[in-house]
Homo-oligomer: A and B are copies of this chain.
Amino acid sequence: MDRPICFFSDYGYTDDFAGVCRAVIARLAPEIRVIDVTHGLPERDVLAGAVVLRNTLPYMPDRAVILAVVDPGVGGPRRPVALRSHGDRLFVGPDNGLLMHAVDLDGGADVACELDNQELWLTPLSATFHGRDIFAPAAARLAGGLKLEAAGTPVEPESLDRIDLPEPRRHRDGLTAIAVLVDRFGNVALNLRARDLERARLMDTVELLTNGERYHARVARTFASVRASDIVVLIDSYGQASVAVNNGSAAEVLGLDAGDEVRIRRLG
């Protein structure tokens, strides 16, 4: 039975990149449903892409083909791969760690292959657009029922490349976290879960230190529970601790970008 394709990339919306991939899929598999989850992944940021894939995986349809492209090494030695998770989703993309946190959440990789069956590639193969020439055609065929074994040479799941999420550092009076994602509202997701805040006893009121400045912040459950323009640390809808400003942009107010450190200290 056909599988839907859930398509993630850093292709953006200015260019034809994502749309041409959709056209390639429609050419090869006109009946397959494509769900564009996002093409706004931060450019060339494999870690940020891995976080978004992992965060959103539980909301993807069962049996989906996850087609994901953040591929700064395109044209180099990194392998194009496809794999099946124990949760029976298929994953297609570059072997650079992008897929693996989501795969782990879906039960880990069951079988994997390098997408080296050139009969499935578009020709001439470009050096810079494997989304169009390798990944989209593979996803289309796999969604239509092609067996993973027919897409290329088997590879050991253990050999697939991985990328580590940064770990928060623990201090006596709190934590040092890293900003991993900034959304359009200026909310800044940290590499912290609710339990990290709890264990560090960060609650009610805290101090944030970042880029040489100090800020008071509330630890809160919703925006609605604080005043306009207050800084809050809240557990966002994906379970991550995020810095937010009610009716404003935390990224702007605190001058935060992805990769910045944020020191969180207990107050009182």
Contact = CB atoms under 8 A, between A and B. Distances in A.
A23 B6 contact: yes
A40 B27 contact: no
A39 B59 contact: no
Interface stretch (A28-36, A107-115, A145-153, A154-162): A28-36
A266 interface: no
Interface residues of A, number: 61
Contact of A15 (B13, B15, B40, B64): B40
Main secondary structure of the interface of A (DSSP, over half): loop
A45 B225 CA distance: 20
A106 interface: no
Number of copies: 3
A15 B75 contact: no
A215 interface: no
A22 interface: yes
B221 A16 contact: no
B27 A184 contact: no
A38 B73 CA distance: 25
A29 to B, nearest CB: 10
Contacts of A59: 20, 23-24, 27, 122, 132
